[in-house]
Structures are given as C-alpha cells and as structure tokens.
Amino acid sequence: MSSGTLYVVATPIGNLADLSQRAETVLREVPVVAAEDTRRVRVLLDHIGAHPKVLSFHAHSPERRQELLLEILAEGRDVALVSDAGTPGVSDPGERLVQAVRRAGFGVVPIPGPSAVTAALSGSGLSADRYLFLGFLPRKGRERERLLEMVADAPWSVVLYEAPGRLAELLDDLARAVPGERDAVVVRELTKLHEEFKAGSVGELAAYYRAQEPRGEITIVVAGRGELTSPQTSAADVAHRAAALLAEGLTRKAAIQRLIADLGVSRNEAYRIVTSLP
C-alpha cells in the first residue's frame, strides 16, 4: 500500500474567489483536512461543496494530533494542511507538521496561492526586488527593540503584520527607530470589501492611526533605506563627519542618527565609529 501525501494548500485571505482551481480540486478530493481554525475552513469547504473530515491542527495542538496525521498518511490517505488564511507555514505553525511528514518519509506537495505578504508588496508601490518579512513583532522587550533596529537598518522593504489595536503603538515605535521620513504603507483588509492602502511617511501614519483606530487585518510595508553604504563614503569620511557633529555639541545618539540619515551608513557602523571617538 502506498503512503499518503501532505498537500500544503494556500487558501484565500479574504475573497473566496481567489481560491485556485488546483487548490479547489485538492480540497474536494482529499479525505482529511488539517486546519488551524475548523470553523473558518468549513465556510470555505461549504463554498466549494467539499466534504472531507476536518481535524484541528494549530500551535497548541497536543503531540498526539500530529501523530494521528502521520498515521493517516501511513494508511495511504492524503491530508490537506490549511491555515486560517493565506499560505500555511507563513506566520503560522504549519512548518512543524511539514518537518515531521518529511522526516517520516511521506511526500509533501505545496499548492501555492494567496499570501498577504506578496499582495501587500505588489500594491504598495514600494520596491519588492528584495524584501524582509518579519511578521508579528514581540509585544515588548529586547527582541522587539532588536527587530525594530533591523527594520531601520534594512536596505530592502520590510513587511510586518500587526493587530489593529496595536498598530498605532507599532508605528510610534517605528517612527522612533527609523531615521528620517521613511515611506511606508499600511494595508488593511486585503482582498475584502473594505480593502485599503494608506501611504505616507512612518511619522505621518503613526499620527493618523493614533487619531483613527483601524479595523480588520493589518499588513505594513516599510521602505528600505537603500544601499547599505555609499561606495564614495569611506570609514575615514564617516569618522571625520562624526567628529564634526560631536564638536557641534550633538549627543552621541544624535550624531549616530545624523550619520545614518546623511551618509547612509548602517546603524551598527555609525554606532561603532561614534563610540570609538574620544
């Protein structure tokens, strides 16, 4: 008896018409669907007239649930893995099951489709040649600070997720971390009736959403700061400029910010040079 296959199926992030024909075929034919939220997937399954057995599988599922899915595959039955919306494994726990299935020697077949990351990038007008996806940042602590610094230093566009009630706080933190008036786009309710793209500087967006709390699911795209270091700017040039800024009476922190904004050096390089000066 041949073993089953795990299909990793991307599902709509809002508009049900975005479900691909291939994904619909898989969901109609598999006997079992493993879903992050069984109630949400049943809406989709009812929409396409599919009637597989639906099992819950999410970040807090007991180990026994994963073992059960492996047993189903070992019996020769196929399983489709779906998340709440979008592509499983992207800001959701799907990778754990995929790893276990591969270790067990069963096949894994991705069924590509909707993703809030690529949808937001394509409609933002910001560069998507290269990008950094950080998902949801930690609520507080050193790890949040480290990732905010990463956003500030990134030469490419950065994509973030955030809950609507915490958007203003995140934008305020970004406005403090990102030097200058960095462009950004807040994307709300992608592919849904009230889809919205709100563009502006990080500071402008922070002020807007402090005054107007958003609703729905939020994706943020922050522009990168361009090339890491201009080839015409040597370390000696940066050190000379840093010394001049300190001589003008700027604090070390202010001098670091000016070097980043004026010369395009990375935060780490600016910090290293400023703190090395007497």
pLDDT digits (tens, 9 = 90+) for 72-109: 999 999 999 999 899 998 888 789 999 999 999 999 99
Question: Which tokens hold the place of 86?
Answer: 């979008």
Q: Does pLDDT of 9 surpass 90?
A: yes
pLDDT per residue as tens digits for the range 23-72: 999 999 999 999 999 999 999 999 999 999 999 999 889 999 999 999 99
Residue % of the chain over a pLDDT of 70: 96
Tokens encoding 224: 């990168």
Distance CA 71, CA 63 (A): 13
Using alpha carbons, list the distances in angstroms from residue 37 to 54, 110, 161, 163, 226. Answer: 10, 19, 19, 18, 40
Beta-strand relationship, 53-56 and 32-35: parallel
Tokens at 80, concatenated: 């489709």
Encoding tokens for residue 118? Answer: 């690529």
Stretch among 97-101, 192-196, 240-244, 258-262 having the lowest mean pLDDT? 258-262
Mean pLDDT of all residues belonging to the chain = 91
CA separation for the pair 4, 53 (Å, rounded): 15
| Pair type for strands 53-56 and 79-82 | unpaired
CB 174 within 8 A of CB 145: no
Backbone phi and psi for residue 164, each to the nearest 5 degrees, phi listed first: -60, -40
CATH number of the structural domain 117-222:
3.30.950.10
Summarised one tens digit per residue, pLDDT across range 22-32 is 999 999 999 99
Domain residue limits, the chain: 5-114, 117-222, 235-276
Amino acid letter, residue 225:
R
Question: What's the rounded mean pLDDT across residues 194-220?
Answer: 94
Give the pLDDT score at 231: 47
Burial environment of residue 172 by CB neighbours within 10 A (0 to 12, 13 to 18, 19 or more):
middle
Structure confidence at residue 233 (pLDDT)? 64
- Note the pLDDT of residue 226: 67
Say what the pLDDT of residue 230 is: 47
Q: What is the average pLDDT across 152-161?
A: 93
Q: Which fold has domain 5-114?
A: Cobalt-precorrin-4 Transmethylase; domain 1 (3.40.1010)
User: With 80 as the cut, is the pLDDT of residue 234 above it?
Assistant: no
